[in-house]
Chain A
Amino acid sequence: MTAVTLLELKNLNLTFKEKGKELSVLEDISFTLDEGEFLCLVGPSGSGKSTILRIISGILNQYTGEVLYKGQPNPQPNPNVSMVFQSFALIPWLTVQENIELVLEARGMTPRQRVRTALKYIDMVGLDSFEDAYPRELSGGMKQRVGIARALAVEPEILLMDEPFSSLDVLTAADLREQVVNLWLEKRLPLKSVLMVTHNMEEAVFLADRILVLSARPGHIIGEISVDLPRPRDSRDKAFEEILDKVYSMILSSRLKS
Chain B
Amino acid sequence: MQLISAALWSTYRIFVAYILSLAFGIFYGVSASSGPRREKIMIAILDILQSVPILGFFPVAIAFFAAIFRGQRIGLELAAIFLIFTSQAWNIAFGVYETVKTLPRELVEVSKAFNFSQTFTIQRIYLPAMVPTIVFNSGVSMANGWYFLMASEIITLGSQEVKLPGLGSSMMNYLAQGNILGVVMCIGTIVLINALLQMLIFRPLVKWSELFQYNAVGTAPEWPAVADVLFDFGKALKVDTFLVKLVSIGTKKLSQAAKYAFYVVGAALVGGLGYLIYWLFSPPYPSNILSQIPAALTVTTMRVVAAVVVSVLLALPFVIRSVKNVEAAQNIYSLASILGSIPAVVFYPPIVALGGRAYMEPLSILLLLTGSFWYALFNMSKGAMLLPGVLTEMAQVFNIKGWLYYKNILIPAILPPLITGALTAWGGAWNASIVAEHVQFGDKVYSIPGIGALLVQSTADTKALLLIVLCMTALIVLVNMLFWRPWYSKAAEKYNITE
Asked if chains A and B are in direct contact (CB within 8 A), the reply is yes
Determine if A134 and B117 form an interchain contact, defined as CB atoms under 8 angstroms apart: no
Determine if B113 and A57 form an interchain contact, defined as CB atoms under 8 angstroms apart: yes
* B5 in the interface (beta carbon within 8 A): no
Determine if B116 and A58 form an interchain contact, defined as CB atoms under 8 angstroms apart: no
Q: Would A93 and B211 be within 8 Å (CB), given that A136-B218, A136-B220 are in contact?
A: yes
* B40 in the interface (beta carbon within 8 A): no
Identify which of A54, A82, A134, A137 contacts B114 (C-beta below 8 A).
A82
Determine if A58 and B110 form an interchain contact, defined as CB atoms under 8 angstroms apart: no
Identify which of A79, A91, A106, A154 contacts B117 (C-beta below 8 A).
A106
Q: Which among B120-128, B271-279, B372-380, B410-418 touches the partner chain? A: B120-128
| Cα separation A154 to B106 with both chains bound (whole Å) | 18
Chain A residues 192-246 with CB under 8 Å of chain B are none
Determine if B216 and A77 form an interchain contact, defined as CB atoms under 8 angstroms apart: no
* B398 in the interface (beta carbon within 8 A): no
| Cα separation A77 to B116 with both chains bound (whole Å) | 10
Chain B residues 95-132 with CB under 8 Å of chain A are 104, 106-107, 109-110, 112-117, 120, 124-125, 128, 131
Determine if A77 and B113 form an interchain contact, defined as CB atoms under 8 angstroms apart: yes
Tell me, rounded to whole Å, the shortest Cβ–Cβ distance linking B102 to chain A.
14
List of A residues within 8 angstroms of B114 by Cβ: 77, 82-83, 103, 106-107, 154
* B217 in the interface (beta carbon within 8 A): yes
Binary B-proximity of A157-198 (CB < 8 A = 1, otherwise 0): 000000000000000000000000000000000000000000
| Cα separation A83 to B109 with both chains bound (whole Å) | 10
Identify which of A85, A88, A93, A137 contacts B128 (C-beta below 8 A).
A93
Determine if A83 and B117 form an interchain contact, defined as CB atoms under 8 angstroms apart: no
| Cα separation A85 to B107 with both chains bound (whole Å) | 10
Chain A residues 91-142 with CB under 8 Å of chain B are 91-93, 102-103, 105-107, 134, 136-137
Binary A-proximity of B173-217 (CB < 8 A = 1, otherwise 0): 000000000000000000000000000000000000001111111
| Cα separation A3 to B131 with both chains bound (whole Å) | 50
Q: How many A-B residue pairs have CB under 8 A?
A: 65
Determine if A85 and B212 form an interchain contact, defined as CB atoms under 8 angstroms apart: no
Tell me how many residues of B have a C-beta within 8 Å of chain A.
26
List of A residues within 8 angstroms of B110 by Cβ: 85, 89, 91, 103
List of B residues within 8 angstroms of A15 by Cβ: none
Q: Would A59 and B109 be within 8 Å (CB), given that A79-B115, A93-B128, A103-B114 are in contact?
A: yes
Tell me, rounded to whole Å, the shortest Cβ–Cβ distance linking A161 to chain B.
12
* A51 in the interface (beta carbon within 8 A): no
* B160 in the interface (beta carbon within 8 A): no
B215 to chain A: closest residue by CB: A92
Identify which of B109, B216, B218 contacts A89 (C-beta below 8 A).
B109
Determine if A92 and B120 form an interchain contact, defined as CB atoms under 8 angstroms apart: no
Determine if A59 and B113 form an interchain contact, defined as CB atoms under 8 angstroms apart: yes
* A87 in the interface (beta carbon within 8 A): yes
Determine if A77 and B220 form an interchain contact, defined as CB atoms under 8 angstroms apart: no
Q: Would A107 and B106 be within 8 Å (CB), given that A92-B216, A93-B211, A137-B220 are in contact?
A: no
| Cα separation A154 to B128 with both chains bound (whole Å) | 23
List of B residues within 8 angstroms of A88 by Cβ: 106
Determine if B106 and A106 form an interchain contact, defined as CB atoms under 8 angstroms apart: no
A60 to chain B: closest residue by CB: B112
* B282 in the interface (beta carbon within 8 A): no
| Cα separation A182 to B216 with both chains bound (whole Å) | 33
Chain B residues 368-398 with CB under 8 Å of chain A are none
Identify which of B124, B212, B213, B214 contacts A102 (C-beta below 8 A).
B124
Determine if A92 and B213 form an interchain contact, defined as CB atoms under 8 angstroms apart: yes
B129 to chain A: closest residue by CB: A93
* B219 in the interface (beta carbon within 8 A): yes
| Cα separation A44 to B107 with both chains bound (whole Å) | 25
List of B residues within 8 angstroms of A107 by Cβ: 114-115
List of B residues within 8 angstroms of A82 by Cβ: 113-114
B214 to chain A: closest residue by CB: A92
List of B residues within 8 angstroms of A105 by Cβ: 120
Determine if B219 and A58 form an interchain contact, defined as CB atoms under 8 angstroms apart: no
Chain A residues 47-92 with CB under 8 Å of chain B are 54, 57-59, 77, 79, 82-83, 85, 87-89, 91-92
Q: From B104, B106, B107, name the one whose CB has the most chain A CB atoms within 10 angstroms.
A: B106
List of A residues within 8 angstroms of B109 by Cβ: 54, 59, 85, 89
| Cα separation A85 to B111 with both chains bound (whole Å) | 12
A56 to chain B: closest residue by CB: B113
| Cα separation A82 to B104 with both chains bound (whole Å) | 20
List of B residues within 8 angstroms of A54 by Cβ: 109
A150 to chain B: closest residue by CB: B114
Identify which of B115, B211, B216, B220 contacts A106 (C-beta below 8 A).
B115
Determine if B216 and A136 form an interchain contact, defined as CB atoms under 8 angstroms apart: yes
List of B residues within 8 angstroms of A77 by Cβ: 112-115
Determine if B112 and A59 form an interchain contact, defined as CB atoms under 8 angstroms apart: yes
| Cα separation A154 to B131 with both chains bound (whole Å) | 28
| Cα separation A105 to B120 with both chains bound (whole Å) | 9
| Cα separation A137 to B219 with both chains bound (whole Å) | 6
Determine if B116 and A87 form an interchain contact, defined as CB atoms under 8 angstroms apart: no
Tell me, rounded to whole Å, the shortest Cβ–Cβ distance linking A75 to chain B.
10
Determine if A92 and B212 form an interchain contact, defined as CB atoms under 8 angstroms apart: yes
Determine if A83 and B113 form an interchain contact, defined as CB atoms under 8 angstroms apart: yes
List of A residues within 8 angstroms of B128 by Cβ: 91, 93
Determine if B112 and A58 form an interchain contact, defined as CB atoms under 8 angstroms apart: yes
Determine if B106 and A87 form an interchain contact, defined as CB atoms under 8 angstroms apart: yes
| Cα separation A79 to B116 with both chains bound (whole Å) | 11
List of B residues within 8 angstroms of A79 by Cβ: 115
Determine if B107 and A91 form an interchain contact, defined as CB atoms under 8 angstroms apart: yes
| Cα separation A105 to B213 with both chains bound (whole Å) | 23
Q: What are 30 A-B contacts with C-beta separation under 8 Å?
A: A57-B113, A59-B112, A59-B113, A77-B113, A77-B115, A82-B113, A83-B113, A83-B114, A85-B106, A88-B106, A89-B104, A89-B106, A89-B107, A91-B125, A92-B211, A92-B213, A92-B214, A93-B128, A93-B131, A103-B114, A105-B120, A106-B114, A106-B116, A106-B117, A106-B120, A107-B115, A134-B211, A136-B217, A136-B219, A137-B220
Question: Could you list which residues of chain B lie within 8 angstroms of chain A, going by C-beta atoms?
Answer: 104, 106-107, 109-110, 112-117, 120, 124-125, 128, 131, 211-220
Question: Could you list which residues of chain A lie within 8 angstroms of chain B, going by C-beta atoms?
Answer: 54, 57-59, 77, 79, 82-83, 85, 87-89, 91-93, 102-103, 105-107, 134, 136-137, 154
| Minimum-distance CB pairs A-B, first 10 | A89-B106, A134-B220, A103-B114, A83-B113, A59-B112, A77-B115, A106-B116, A57-B113, A93-B212, A89-B110
Contacts A58-B115, A83-B114 known; 6 new A-B pairs at CB < 8 A: A59-B109, A79-B115, A85-B106, A92-B216, A93-B128, A136-B220
